[in-house]
Structure 1
Amino acid sequence: MSNKRLAGYMLVTDMDGTLLNSSKQISDENRSAIERFVAQGGLFTLATGRIASSVKRFADTLPLGAPAIIYNGAIIHDFTTGKPVWQRTLNKAEVKSALKRVMERFPELGVEVYSGEEPYFLRENSMTDHHRRMEHFTRPLTQNIEELTEPWFKVLTAWEPARLDEVQAYVFEHESQLTWVRSDDKYLEILPDGATKGHALEHLMELVGIEKSKCIAMGDHLNDLEMIKRAGIGIAVANAHETLLEASNRTCCHHNEHALADVIGWLEREAAEAKS
């Protein structure tokens, strides 16, 4: 398609709960719409809490035109080179101290430390077991936190949603020196300072030379909030957390109803009207 009416636009989407359906697949409708968007000159990329190896199997099948935001904003990763182009890391001493207190108070809380190619499991529960199976993580339970000498990019804590609500209330009051982000009903994460998806998006816009007004970001949960707020057009899927729905500029259909196709169709109509 020679018509480049979407040149200058960048569309950045969350994966789980936004791009992917409940079966963790990209629908044919979404895939076709993304290809149309790129054919018309748009840049497409991803913004996710997932690690590089977990994103790669999707990235390899998509026409990414810009590096992707991974680790919930701690890293901007170029999948064409396989290397990060920007990253932030945790203050390990500060995080270790807080984790010790939180793990003592909530002895059944699952804890994963993201460092290197896969997360290290400091404590397991049914939620981390499910996460391990879903992502095919192979590292055994880590007995000693001091063994984790590589940089830490994030820490994920996992539990049943109602119990994690208790953890969230506690850490927001007693461990507020750290950046805590609820990325899912069952996941609460510690991120580096200045490493939300929103901070990373601002850096990515500068990196690829996209105007804020032409940057569209899509998401569904609280880890997408800063990205939705800092994009030129922040879009929440119909299944999004209430806070996101309130903060967004627009809403679109449910992630099981081809949300990307919905948004790209809207962009195409807007561009056609502007041209006429």
Structure 2
Amino acid sequence: MGKYRLLALDLDGTLLNDRSEISNTNAKWVRHAVEAGVTVCVSTGRGFPSALPFAEQLRLDTPMITVNGGEIWTKPHSLHRRTLLDSQKVMKLHALAEQHDVWFWGYTTNDIYNKERWVGDTITSHWLKFGYYTENLPILNEILKEIQTWDGLEITNSSPYNIEINSQGVSKASALEEVCRMLGYDMSEVVAVGDSLNDIAAIRASGLGVAMGNAQDEVKAAAKVVTGSHQEHGVAQVIQNYVLRT
């Protein structure tokens, strides 16, 4: 095996194509990496229930990072650590969404809620993440400027048209550092691949940070390498060109 022992893969816009599928090419090369002894870790903004089918498709029994690092799993169904988002802050975030009349959603430890179906009791729910979505960028920027003045929040995105909020200190980077502690790896042995702002910290902190060809410009600027797009099997290219190259 080469110098990289852990491959951390974002899902949407990275491992998945625009039909939310893992291409046969990507799947084949992920299996080659696993067979070579590389630990492949799903690292996503998705919640565990929607991330799990992709880990199962790839037959991964390895750590998972979900809701941007709000949850770390030693393997599927085995929770290692969970970091909650303060429910009072969720009430404020929800009120701001209502004020601007934009689409919003929130992950609890049990379910996903959104503009069409909101939880009755916000305070006693155990929150992991809150998000906004609108293609009206001036409105999105207004929301962003407002919440940037609040304390205790980690603010990123998973597309140019959304904002994702976790508890301060929660990120894919801090989660990867914990996964490395669990496995006895060093961050210099990690390859992190992603396309959005919620991937930047991990891309910067890893031995090899890779931006997808379809990544936001800020992500490409933070990365050491830019690979093909999610439509061009960019993950497979990373595995061939860097992970399995000795």
TM-score (norm 1): 0.82
- Counterpart for residue 257 of structure 1: 232
Could you give the per-residue CA deviations for residues 93-121 of structure 1, whole angstroms, max 9, x where no partner exists? 23323543x23541x12222211332122
* Compared CA separation, residues 186 and 246, structure 1 to 2 (3 A): same
Identity %: 28
Displacement, 1:147?
4.8
Aligned-residue CA RMSD in angstroms? 2.0
- Counterpart for residue 105 of structure 2: 112
- Counterpart for residue 29 of structure 2: 33
Distance 1:262 1:74 in 2: 29
- Counterpart for residue 167 of structure 2: 192
Give the residue type in structure 2 aligned to 1:15: L
Distance 1:212 1:147 in 2: 37
- Counterpart for residue 157 of structure 2: 182
Q: Map of 1:195-206 to 2, 5 A cutoff?
A: 195-206=170-181
Q: Is the 8 A contact 2:70 2:171 kept in 1?
A: yes
Residue of 94, 97, 101 corresponding to 1:103: 97
Displacement, 1:167?
2.0
Distance 1:65 1:211 in 2: 20
* Compared CA separation, residues 83 and 104, structure 1 to 2 (3 A): same
- Counterpart for residue 149 of structure 1: 124
Deviates more, 1:42-51 or 1:148-157: 148-157
Distance 1:65 1:59 in 2: 8
Q: Is the 8 A contact 1:111 1:157 kept in 2?
A: yes
- Counterpart for residue 13 of structure 1: 9
* Compared CA separation, residues 177 and 211, structure 1 to 2 (3 A): closer
Q: Which runs of 5+ in 2 are unaligned?
A: none
Q: Is the 8 A contact 2:61 2:75 kept in 1?
A: no
Distance 1:44 1:18 in 2: 14
Q: Is the 8 A contact 1:44 1:65 kept in 2?
A: no
Q: Is the 8 A contact 2:18 2:231 kept in 1?
A: yes
Partner of 1:165: helix, strand, or coil? Answer: helix
Q: Is the 8 A contact 1:218 1:234 kept in 2?
A: yes
Deviates more, 1:176-185 or 1:225-234: 176-185
- Counterpart for residue 63 of structure 2: 67
Q: Is the 8 A contact 2:5 2:190 kept in 1?
A: yes
Indicate the structure (1 or 2) with the bigger Cα radius of gyration: 1
- Counterpart for residue 133 of structure 1: none
Q: Map of 1:192-271 to 2, 5 A cutoff?
A: 192-267=167-242, 270-271=245-246
Choose between structure 1 and 2: higher helix proportion: 1
TM-score (norm 2): 0.91
Q: Which runs of 5+ in 1 are unaligned?
A: 125-140, 272-276
Displacement, 1:153?
0.6
Partner of 2:113: helix, strand, or coil? Answer: strand
Partner of 1:253: helix, strand, or coil? Answer: coil
